Amino acid sequence: MIWDNGRKKRKEWAFLKHQIEDLVFKEIVWARPYKTEAVWEVLSHLAALSRGAVIWEVRSQNGKVSYLIGAAARYIRNIEEAIKAHGDILFHEVGTEKRAAVTTARQLKISHPTLSLKTDITEAVIRAGLAALTENKNSTEMVVQIILGRAYAPSPVPTNLADPNATWLQVLFGDVQKASAESRKTVREKAEQHIFQAVIRIGITGENNSARLQSVISAFKVLESAGVRIHTENIKSHDLNSAHVPWHFPLQLSVRELANFLLLPAGEEKLPGTPGLHPRLTLPPQWYYSPTNQKMDRSFAVSMDAINPKRLSISPKDSLEHTICLGPTGSGKSTAMLHLILADITAGRSVLVLDPKADLITSILERIPEKRMGDVVIIDPSDPCPCGFNPLAFKDYGSPSLIADATLSVLKEIFSDCWGIYTQDVLTAALLTLVETENSTLLWLLPLLTDERFRQKITNKVKDRIALRPFWEQFEALRDTEKRQQISPVLNKLRQLTLRPGLRNILGQAKPKFSLTDLFYKRKIVMIPLNKGLTGGESARLLGSLIVGLTWTL
């Protein structure tokens, strides 16, 4: 400011002598929403940071806006860390091709550096500036470049502050009055903040684009306040292209003034050239890297990071935990699952897919590698000759009583609304009996309870003489009316298995070609389409529940 002492001026001269060497640019992506106050905090932090000159560029092309920050290589790391502390902010390396060379450039001039510009219309200025930058959605590139030099800490306003609007004749003849209350107020408002020495340049590629430059300048001119005017002068385009640091900085801008020129999309409004707030763009964390091992690669999508897109993957180890895909219709849940499933198939792992619509299974079958076609098993209730599934055929792979309990739990969950003590008692005994019987299926439950000769043939082989055989002996001793009273609630549920041909054809095979244990020992690819329109809602629910429940048990 104009009242700085000589010591500060000497330090300033030392700072300005330094030109940027090994200039490094990075693109900055600040996840919205954030408030204007956060931008002020970033600038205040930069003001207090030990650094060289900082270059800020807002570039627009094809209707999109990007933000670059540059500094000497030895300072860029500290600057990056300081900015990251104030929000969800990512930095990406950019090449020289990201900075198109402009052909026309102008530099902003602001009268009366001690007086403040308007600082209460920041969001309006940002909206107007971004609209001007993105006005023509073509290959022409526009840039607003700000170079920040030395920063000064807040300072008090002298009691004898001279009128900043005094003419040079008044100064020459010593006829300068004291500043008015209004002038003193605006000077104090600026002096209470960190002050940056700065230069602001505006450039554009191509020829005959002066009108577009003027649109951006006009957006900034709304910042003019009483006694402060903004104008421009033509400069060499090389100064902007090379990010030339001047020997003398023409502007002195406070943190709040400078925030207007950065054109960062603060607030929650939809702004030209910037991503919308809904849905919010979520980028992977910086520590995340795209998988490089093809065997471990289970990529299902690519991040929306336009600068450094990464393949998003759930590793085989992480996939042992539950994965839930949430989203409205058309958001890509099935597509994400398709990529995960195909990755497992390609890697030679086993896969079990239950699809309530069959569309996902169709997409998978169209893309299965030829070398794994022999591992495919399709259990389709709508097929007249389906591959079978027998829930009672796993006694060689675990405790028979555990298999019976798992089957009972599935049936209990399906028929929970009408599950009583008779149903629980009778089905428990029946399943424990059949699971010990060779070549039995769930379809044997009906004749076991209704056909006396069949029941005796089965129960005579029961080995459990403590609980199971006494149950059947007691059951046989009941009168016919008492038997019907106990088994009627059970028969009502078991007929769901026999009245549906598709379900009956699958569950009625005593020794099907496929066993669920093949998933674990033979790495099979099992596809189960459960389209309610083809199989019926109850059939789909029953078959799906049995397979999921028993797979979990095994």
Under the banding of pLDDT at 50, 70 and 90, the label for residue 7 is very low
Encode pLDDT of 284-315 as tens digits: 777 777 888 877 889 888 887 767 788 899 98
SS3 content of the chain, % helix, strand, coil (to 5): 45, 15, 40
The pLDDT value given to residue 533: 80
Q: How many CA atoms lie within 13 A of 385 on its CB side?
A: 1
Task: Provide mean pLDDT across the span 182-190.
Answer: 75
The pLDDT value given to residue 2: 40
Which residues on adjacent β-strands are paired with residue 147?
55, 199
The pLDDT value given to residue 21: 75
Distance (Å, whole) CA 127 – CA 130: 5
Residue 509 pLDDT exceeds 60: yes
Do β-strands 525-529 and 351-355 pair in parallel, antiparallel, or remain unpaired? Answer: parallel
Encode pLDDT of 22-55 as tens digits: 899 999 989 888 999 999 999 999 999 999 999 9
Q: Provide, rounded to the nearest whole percent, the portion of the chain with pLDDT above 70.
A: 90
* Token reading at 197: 């020495």
Query: pLDDT higher for 166 or 80?
Result: 80
Task: Provide mean pLDDT across the span 84-97.
Answer: 86
The pLDDT value given to residue 330: 86
Selection from 50, 45, 52, 43 nearest residue 70 by Cα? 52
- Give the count of beta carbons closer than 10 Å to the beta carbon of residue 169: 8
User: What rounded mean pLDDT belongs to the chain?
Assistant: 86
- Give the count of beta carbons closer than 10 Å to the beta carbon of residue 426: 21
Selection from 239, 347, 352, 259 nearest residue 298 by Cα? 347
Task: Provide mean pLDDT across the span 342-357.
Answer: 93
Query: pLDDT higher for 165 or 87?
Result: 87
Residue 10 pLDDT exceeds 50: no
State the Cα angle at 235 between 233 and 237, rounded to 5°.
140
Residue 319 pLDDT exceeds 50: yes
DSSP string, 487-540: HHHHHHHHHHHHS-HHHHHHHT-SS-S--TTHHHHT--EEEEE--HHHH-HHHH
Residue 253 pLDDT exceeds 80: yes
Under the banding of pLDDT at 50, 70 and 90, the label for residue 264 is very high
Identify whether 272 is preceded by a cis peptide bond (ω within 30 of 0). no
* Token reading at 321: 């935990």
* Token reading at 17: 């002598």
Output DSSP code: residue 307.
S
pTM, rounded to two decimals: 0.66
Distance (Å, whole) CA 314 – CA 284: 13
